[in-house]
Chain A
Amino acid sequence: MLLLSKKQDWLGNIRADILAGLVVALALIPEAIAFSIIAGVDPKVGLYASFCIAVTTAIVGGRAGMISAATGAMALLMVTLVKEHGLEYLLATTLLTGAIQITAGYLKLGSLMRFVSRSVVTGFVNALAILIFMAQLPELTGVSWHVYVMTLSGLGIIYLFPLIPAIGKSIPSPLVCIVVLTGIALMLKLDIRTVGDMGDLPDTLPMFLWPDVPLTIETLKIILPYAVPLAVVGLLESLMTATIVDDLTDTDSDKNRECKGQGIANIGSGLMGGMAGCAMIGQSVINIKSGGRGRLSTLLAGVLLLIMVVFLGDWISQIPMAALVAVMIMVSIGTFNWGSFRDLKQHPLSSNLVMMTTVLVVVWTHNLALGVFVGVLLASLFFANKISHLMYVESEYDEDSDTRTYHVVGQVFFSSADKFIAAFDFKEAVEKIVIDLNRAHFWDITSVSSLDKAVIKLRRQGADVELIGLNVASSTIIDRFGVHDKPEEIEKIMGGH
């Protein structure tokens, strides 16, 4: 099933896919190198990973036209692992990450994405953009003025070259930036850092190799704490990107297949000496912009990347880091959601807080998984708080029978339980108390126990307590709403609102 794709997914857009694949391959090379440097491994690890992941997801992924490769989000999570345990443990972690993602795909955990709110997604991409930018800073500190000039002119080329009529939109400007800056550096014989200084480039095609780590519990203890966040972040970014591509192309994707595809791709990458990766927001946008729609463009991006790297390795090692930094700053600018500044004024404070907390946690910990976790948690709390306002209690007193009747209306659950209890007047000395729950909804055990508490308190003061409509109110406690998802059942439970 994973191998089956519609014919049109492969062959529906051949010409544009080939061109887009080429553009993406050219853009992937600097990124793969830059992300390898972030992770602290040789550029070849990221380049092999990008090849394997792009090719595999082209075939087994759930979203045609999406580009997956070595990514910054994943690289950031590996830094300490590589530093403390070395490359072989990184490869083993990559395999485990893949296995976790495949499992998630089969358990259909992709649907958990619905708990990740819009603000968290915005926080995620903003944090990612900031981290990618921050990762460039070491290349820009303590260097000669040449590097600043180079980087700035690189950015100038990237953004101004497309404005040239005719050729501007047919040659990728990041490529022009790299070629021009490399040429200048070579001509002027500038003494600045180049890609070759950062470690080995691939000199052969990738080879199959099993990570050289002992198969013991100790190994698992080392790699599991890295593999889990890697798997989570990989799936998060991939599913977010898939949604973006869905929107751009007005087509659907198979999210669970994408989870499995990412897993298979990572296992493939780990076995070929590559690091873990996932879908890339920036590259996928570039792909769509360049006309890529089908699986062919993703496949070609991977294949062309490898061919270029293996055969042009000598030239690539001459690329000045300044050119790479310029490209990565562009990626960072393109990833950041600038509209979110404008939105700060319009969005409610709670969602702004969720967005900014997500950004802060990620930038603080360099762990996107943690940021998303905190963001989702915060968003849920805000939501619970909001809903808890949807509850009020009104009462009337009947002098003849010396009876006080409370009418509870709205949502009673952990967050509104205190408010619920506080609504009763325990000081009032009356003969009888009626609590009408017909228009109330009890969502959890907390609400039931607070009702019990209120009833006991009232009874201790000598009042006879009568409850009306408890069954109706507590019918919402049941966990499995699935049984009740027919409109008439929902009407029954939510009736009166």
Chain B
Amino acid sequence: MTNNKKLIMACIDGSKLSEAVCDYAVWLAQRIEGPLKLMYTIDHHPETAKEVDLSGNLGVDSRDHLLEEITSSEHTRSKLRLKEGKSILQAANERVVEDGFKDPILCLQHGSLIETLVELKEELRILVIGARGKIHEDQTDKIGAKLESMIRSLHGHILVAYDVFKTPERIMIAYDGSETSDKHIDMIANSPLYKGLSCHLVCVNKKDTADSLIENAVNKLKTAGWSEIISASLQGKTEDELCDYQVSHNIDLTIMGAFNHTRLHDLILGSFTAKMLLNTRTPLLLLR
């Protein structure tokens, strides 16, 4: 599948962040002129029991009766969820149309979100998702429980929205000089998505190292025709410095790599991405 046919996919769950997710998805879709899909998954949680009967006996054709019972109660429940899903998706559709995007693809699927996304990953260009789902929607200091494992199981770009939409004007690129982040710089340099935005290239490292690393990256962007680049080399704890910079420079969107290390590494040393997901003051665009 070529890049142009791939989708911007917005994951809607009817929580407070869903509107922001729609807005960011529209922004992305308009900038790269790609198709937009709104998706709502109905997770039935088959791993949890809804009815409990501890009578512990077996009668004539217990098995058939049990199947019949479970099926009919699930049928009723699923009907409601289906209706709910349709209305949530419809609300998202209206929001997107309001934002000026015509004809998004609406998609209602059964199954868990991660499972569904992994199945659809071939058609995914950028995924847009809220940092918190319905469960934590009022706890702004928390992120969704499955966010990390979802990011890990996908290998496409992901935009994580935290708050109401604000049209990105100033973006910050977190650069660490690694091979992956060099690839990301190339990607950014050639993508229509970032054209015309004011760009802050930030590197947290020892002073000398950071300076020389930044110089390389800035040159790359400049040769690709970028003019407005502000660079900064910062010293200190990476996630703290980056988050402070976001605030002090009014950054609207932070762009960074995600989960480059193995789970074991992250388990022992802690994951930078996980810390950023928790502490960031702007939406994050995670490049892969």
Q: Which residues of A contact B (CB under 8 A)?
A: 8-9, 12-13, 16, 19-20, 23, 26-27, 64, 158-159, 161-162, 168-175, 244, 247-251, 281-282, 285-286, 288-294, 330-331, 333-339
Q: How many residues of B contact A (CB 8 A)?
A: 24
Q: A244-B63, A285-B66 are in contact. Are A290 and B48 (CB under 8 A)?
A: no
Q: How far, in Å, is A390 (CB) from chain B's closest CB?
A: 34
Residues from chain B with Cβ under 8 Å of A337 in the complex: 61
| Tally of A-B Cβ pairs under 8 angstroms | 109
B67 at the interface (CB under 8 A from A): yes
Give bound CA distance, A172 to B56, whole Å.
5
Which residues of B, 13-67, contact A by the 8 Å Cβ criterion? 44-49, 51-64, 66-67
Give bound CA distance, A246 to B9, whole Å.
32
Please tell me if the beta carbons of A251 and B53 are within 8 angstroms of each other in the complex.
no
A293 partner, pick from B47, B55, B58, B61, beta carbons under 8 A: B47
B60 partner, pick from A291, A293, A338, beta carbons under 8 A: A338
Residues from chain B with Cβ under 8 Å of A12 in the complex: 45, 47-48
Q: A248-B66, A293-B49 are in contact. Are A333 and B56 (CB under 8 A)?
A: no
Please tell me if the beta carbons of A288 and B47 are within 8 angstroms of each other in the complex.
no
**What are 17 residue pairs bridging A and B, where the CB atoms are less than 8 Å apart in the complex?**
A12-B47, A23-B54, A64-B47, A161-B55, A170-B54, A172-B56, A173-B56, A173-B57, A285-B63, A285-B66, A286-B56, A288-B66, A290-B54, A291-B53, A335-B58, A338-B60, A339-B61
B74 at the interface (CB under 8 A from A): yes
Residues from chain A with Cβ under 8 Å of B47 in the complex: 8-9, 12-13, 64, 251, 293-294
Q: How far, in Å, is A378 (CB) from chain B's closest CB?
A: 25
Residues from chain A with Cβ under 8 Å of B56 in the complex: 23, 26-27, 172-175, 286, 289-290
B58 partner, pick from A169, A250, A291, A333, beta carbons under 8 A: A333
Give bound CA distance, A161 to B54, whole Å.
12
Give bound CA distance, A158 to B62, whole Å.
14
Q: How far, in Å, is A324 (CB) from chain B's closest CB?
A: 15
Q: A12-B45, A293-B47 are in contact. Are A169 and B62 (CB under 8 A)?
A: no
Please tell me if the beta carbons of A334 and B62 are within 8 angstroms of each other in the complex.
yes
Please tell me if the beta carbons of A289 and B62 are within 8 angstroms of each other in the complex.
yes
Residues from chain A with Cβ under 8 Å of B70 in the complex: 248, 288
Q: How far, in Å, is A417 (CB) from chain B's closest CB?
A: 43
Residues from chain B with Cβ under 8 Å of A20 in the complex: 49, 52, 54
Q: How far, in Å, is B150 (CB) from chain A's closest CB?
A: 14
Please tell me if the beta carbons of A330 and B67 are within 8 angstroms of each other in the complex.
no
Q: A244-B63, A285-B58 are in contact. Are A293 and B53 (CB under 8 A)?
A: no
Residues from chain A with Cβ under 8 Å of B52 in the complex: 16, 19-20, 290-291
B59 partner, pick from A19, A159, A169, A171, beta carbons under 8 A: A159
Q: A250-B46, A285-B66 are in contact. Are A162 and B55 (CB under 8 A)?
A: yes
Known pairs A19-B52, A290-B56; list 4 more (Cβ under 8 Å): A19-B54, A244-B63, A282-B58, A289-B53
Residues from chain B with Cβ under 8 Å of A291 in the complex: 49, 51-54
Please tell me if the beta carbons of B48 and A16 are within 8 angstroms of each other in the complex.
yes
Q: How far, in Å, is B255 (CB) from chain A's closest CB?
A: 31
Top 4 A-B pairs, shortest CB-CB distance? A334-B58, A172-B56, A12-B47, A291-B52
Residues from chain A with Cβ under 8 Å of B57 in the complex: 158-159, 162, 172-174, 286, 330, 334
Residue on A nearest B50 in the bound complex, by CB: A291
Residue on B nearest A342 in the bound complex, by CB: B61
Give bound CA distance, A102 to B74, whole Å.
36
Residues from chain B with Cβ under 8 Å of A336 in the complex: 60
Please tell me if the beta carbons of A339 and B74 are within 8 angstroms of each other in the complex.
no
